[in-house]
Amino acid sequence: MLRRKPDCLPATSQWAASHAVPLSLMTLKLQRLYTGALLLIYLLCSAQVQADWARAEAAIMGTEIRAEVWHEDAALAQKGVVAVMDEMRRIDRLMSPYKPQSELSQINRYAADEPVVVSTELYALIKRSMEFSVLTGGAFDITFASVGHLYDYREHRKPDQQQIEEKLSAINYRHVELNDKDRYVRFARRGVKIDLGGIAKGHAVDNALQILRDLGIEHALVTAGGDTGLLGDRLGRPWMVGIKHPRKSGAMAAMLPLQDEALSTSGDYERFFEEDGVRYHHILNPSTGKSVGEVTSVSILGPDATTADALSTSVFVLGVEQGMALVNRLAGIEAIIVDKERRLFYSLGLEKPSRPSAETNTWMK
């Protein structure tokens, strides 16, 4: 298990010493035992409390959404999970590149011809995406979609070299003109397309948590695919959030005890296909229009899910050396990277586990 060093707390997190869990519990197997023991104690002590957790799962935004909400008023907790799912559907309608009527699709259709006025929310998220482009030297770039839309991972479709070369110059976040006063978006040239797949789920998680806060809820977990946001703790102890093993389905590479923060994982195993020994997956290097090959999984710990989501995609593109250099200079942000050789790398603010896990047996840094 991994955790933040005590002096590297996120700005919004209150890390209570009583929530520390023994570091020796490294493997998933042990983790399960531990969780099982806790669950038993929990069931024995608090049958009443158990009744007030509301849980829901749904497939929205092309991914699995999960919500766990606690409130002493069970009806309010239930109202909370319903509100979370409604918010996910709303964001999907607004930002899906696959829905022709979404605001995002309208931008892609018209913004090369004329300025397209957009909602405050979508405008703000596009603007935030641009800030991540600047921060990451262009590793995060929503115009990756100018080439990205030529891939279909389900159908095993990919552009050939000539198609990539034709479209590559349309990838550049500087082609997206934003006008704050009139709130419009315009593309500087033809062929530009944008896609918020690297940040929209984090945004949806943050919105969902805000809706829960506004309802008076103080303990919740909301997960959209690899993006998890946490409100408070899990009633007196931290939430345990796992980082999936990139190659063993069902296994975990690491577990983190978290509260009041967000964890986002980007992996090359989410959407991909293989051809002639090459893995074509959904995270593209904006300078080549091709899938990034150095790492297999990047998890980012941060104060909010939007930031963690955008940075997990960014660090995936940047790779171990540049990605860690970026993370280590950002306050409140930590990273765990698994590279192609299954080595795990941690940013400076994380305590190194006391021994390697059974799943990933090589450790570096």
Residues binding ligand ADP (CB under 6 A): 140-142, 144, 195, 197-198, 201, 225-226, 266, 270, 282-284, 286, 309, 312-313, 317
Contact partner, 282, from Mg ion, ligand ADP, none, Cβ < 5-8 Å per class:
ligand ADP
Residue whose CB is less far from ligand ADP, 61 or 220: 61
Q: With binding defined as CB under 5 A, does residue 296 bind Mg ion?
A: no
| Cβ atoms < 10 Å from Cβ of 243 | 21
Q: How far from each other are the two terminal CA atoms of the chain, in whole angstroms?
A: 16
Task: Using the minimum distance from each CB to Mg ion, give the nearer residue, 111 or 200.
Answer: 200
Contact 324, 294 (CB under 8 A): no
Report, in Å, the least distance between residue 44 CB and Mg ion.
40
Min CB(337)–Mg ion separation in Å: 14
Instruction: Report, in Å, the least distance between residue 190 CB and ligand ADP.
Output: 21
What residues from 44 to 73 belong to the interface with Mg ion (CB under 5 A)?
none
- SS3 sequence of 17-32: HHHCCCCCCCCHHHHH
Q: Cβ closer to ligand ADP: 127 or 237?
A: 127
What distance in Å separates the CA atoms of residue 365 and residue 352, rounded to the nearest whole number?
9
Cα–Cα distance, 289 to 131 (Å, whole number): 21
> Should residue 13 be labelled a site residue for Mg ion when binding is judged by CB under 5 A?
no
Between residues 27 and 266, which has the closer beta carbon with respect to Mg ion?
266
> Residue 172's binding partner, choosing from Mg ion, ligand ADP, none, with beta-carbon cut-off 5 to 8 A by kind?
none
**Do 312 and 334 contact (CB within 8 A), yes or no?**
no
Residue 38 beta carbon to ligand ADP: minimum distance, rounded to whole angstroms: 29
Rounded least distance, CB 13 to ligand ADP, Å: 22
The residue (of 297 and 347) whose beta carbon lies closer to ligand ADP is: 297
Q: Considering only CA atoms, which of 63, 98, 60, 102 is closest in space to residue 82?
A: 60
Residue closer to Mg ion by CB (options 4, 201) is 201
Of 54 and 91, nearer to ligand ADP (C-beta) is 91
Which is nearer to ligand ADP, 104 or 317 (by Cβ)? 317
Choose from ligand ADP, Mg ion, none: what does 270 bind? Cβ within 5-8 Å by kind: ligand ADP
Burial (0-12, 13-18, 19+ Cβ within 10 Å), 90: middle
User: Can you give the C-alpha Rg of the chain in angstroms?
Assistant: 21
Candidate ranges 35-43, 142-150, 214-222, 304-312; the one touching Mg ion (CB under 5 A): 304-312
Q: What's the length of the chain?
A: 365
Q: Using CA atoms, how far apart are residues 3 and 20, in angstroms rounded to an integer?
A: 9
For residue 300, the minimal CB distance to Mg ion (Å) is: 8
CB atoms within 10 A of CB 352: 12
Question: Which lies closer to ligand ADP via its Cβ, residue 138 or residue 232?
Answer: 138
Binding flag, residue 309, Mg ion (CB under 5 A): yes
Closest CA to 190 of 150, 139, 146, 159: 146
From the list ligand ADP, Mg ion, none, which binds 317 (C-beta under 5 to 8 Å, kind-based)? Answer: ligand ADP
Among residues 5, 41, 12, which one has the least CA distance to residue 237? 41
- Tally the C-alpha atoms within 13 A of residue 102's C-alpha that lie toward its C-beta: 19
Q: State the nearest-atom distance from the C-beta of 313 to Mg ion, in Å.
A: 4
Q: Are 170 and 191 in contact (CB under 8 A)?
A: yes
Establish if 313 lies at the interface with Mg ion (CB under 5 A): yes
Rounded CA gap, 150 and 14, in Å? 45
Query: Which one of 2-10, 108-116, 205-213, 262-270 is the stretch in contact with Mg ion (CB under 5 A)?
Result: 262-270
Q: Binding residues for Mg ion, per CB under 5 A?
A: 198, 266, 309, 312-313
